[in-house]
Amino acid sequence: MREDWTRQGKSDGIGGGIVRFGVSGTGLDAEKFCQSNRFLRRFELAAICGETPKAAEEFCVGKGRPLVFDDPARMASCQNLDAVYISKDVMDRQDQCILMMKEGKHVLCASPMADTLEELEELYRVAEDNHVILLESFPFLYTPSFQKMIPYLDSLGTIRHATFQNCYSSVSYERWKRGIPARDFAPETALGGLLEAGTIPVAAMIHLFGYPKKIRGSYVTLPDSIDVTGSILMVYEGMIGEVIYSKITDSAMPSQIQGENGSMILREIDNIKDLSITRKSVRQAVHFEQSDNVFHHETGAFIRMTDTGKGWKKSKKLSRKTMKVLQKVRKQNEVREQKEVSEQSELTEQKIEKPNGEEV
């Protein structure tokens, strides 16, 4: 595969050289991506694409002199780029991934990349057709601390229960409550808390324990808006996995893994720096020296994938399994909501009137 890419001139970065990155988006994730990778040996920030030229230019301050775009199509056709990190709004990601890949750009995309399993499969088909790497971004999987956690996990004995959380209060929520339109709470532009906040803990659960035998999920939907908070039960053989997510509430509780020989508390599942392990009333504290910004670990792995065309099959499997869980939860709730509407309609139709015309 590498020979095919080199022959077609898909990426000058392949083969150990500098990889020239474009970044689509100027939000918090884009800022963290640029800051974390600025000292990565083979990384070069070569272009920024913002909503407007001004937004892109303001984002570039202190980041050298990358090219500035306000049109993703123009950035995709730029010959001075090898790869693109996409952190645009969820609804824009799939189209931009396809746009970049068809122009021969490797793509690292914030999660979730797509709305449905069918859309995800289409993305992978385009990647294979154009001989490029497409990686859904799960930075925590590539951190040293996540790998170092595994031996401690093994020491807990048979795992019986795991609870992973990803709860945060969106800054847009207060505006939405005051009646001010908020893009990430509008049904036509946002995919809701399930995909935005639920993707990471579900992916972590599957990565550690595999795909569940049964899935049960429920969420809360705001009036005339989107789903915002919920939980998912993932049933395994002899074990229960629980995912709690929200984009309107913060959690005071950490994530936890319970085994027959002990339990483990994880403060943040997406950036593990501290573990608290209790075995028979004896507590062990473990600290990992790790930055608050961990994007560079994943970017380094992504760059190595572009060298050989290998190493991304495991990621594809994880993304597919994660989307299958999320899609099942969404369908369960759609069926429940439809049933509630149907039952309410039946009750309305079955109203009985008294002889004097009053309703019972």
For residue 9, what pLDDT band results from cuts at 50, 70 and 90? very low
* pLDDT band with cut points at 50, 70 and 90 for residue 267: confident
* Residue ranges of domains in the chain: 2-137, 144-289+322-339
Residues 6+ away with beta carbon under 8 Å from 83: 11, 13, 19, 20, 21, 22, 105, 106, 107, 108, 133, 302, 303, 306
Question: pLDDT per residue over 34-67, tens digit each?
Answer: 999 999 999 999 999 999 999 999 999 999 999 9
Residue 360: per-residue pLDDT: 35
Contact by Cβ (8 Å): 197, 167? yes
Q: Which residue has the higher pLDDT, 336 or 246?
A: 246
Which fold, 2-137?
A: Rossmann fold (3.40.50)
Name, in order, each residue with C-beta under 8 angstroms of 334's C-beta and a sequence gap of 6 or more.
Answer: none
173 near 197, Cβ under 8 Å? Answer: no
What whole-number percentage of the chain has pLDDT above 70?
88
94-99 LR contacts (CB < 8 Å, sep 24+): 94/119, 94/122, 94/123, 96/24, 96/72, 97/123, 97/126, 97/134, 98/122, 98/123, 98/126, 99/72, 99/73
CB 212 within 8 A of CB 164: no
Higher-pLDDT residue of 168 and 359 is 168
Lowest mean pLDDT among 16-20, 124-128, 344-348: 344-348
Average pLDDT over residues 179-196: 85
pTM of the model: 0.87
CA-to-CA distance for 89 and 91, rounded, in angstroms? 6
Q: Which two tokens stand for residue 199?
A: 């993707």
Mean pLDDT of the chain: 88
Q: What is the average per-residue pLDDT within 166-180? A: 91
Q: SS in 3 state form for 210-273?
A: CCCCEEEEEEEECCCCCEEEEEEEEEECCEEEEEEEECECCCCCCEEEEECCEEEEECCCCCCC
pLDDT for 326: 96
State the average pLDDT over residues 162-168: 96
In this predicted structure, what is the pLDDT of residue 44? 97
CATH no. for 144-289+322-339? 3.30.360.10
As a whole number, mean pLDDT of residues 169-191 equals 85
- pLDDT digits 0-9 by tens, 306-332: 998 888 888 999 999 999 999 999 999
* Contact of 103 with 93, CB cutoff 8 Å: no
Mean pLDDT on 93-110: 96
d(CA 50, CA 37): 19
pLDDT at 280: 87
Decide if pLDDT at 359 tops 70. Answer: no
Cβ count within 10 A of residue 353:
9
pLDDT per position as a tens digit, 273-299: 899 999 988 999 999 988 889 999 999
Cis bond leading into 112, ω under 30°?
yes
The terminus-to-terminus CA distance of the chain in angstroms comes to 73
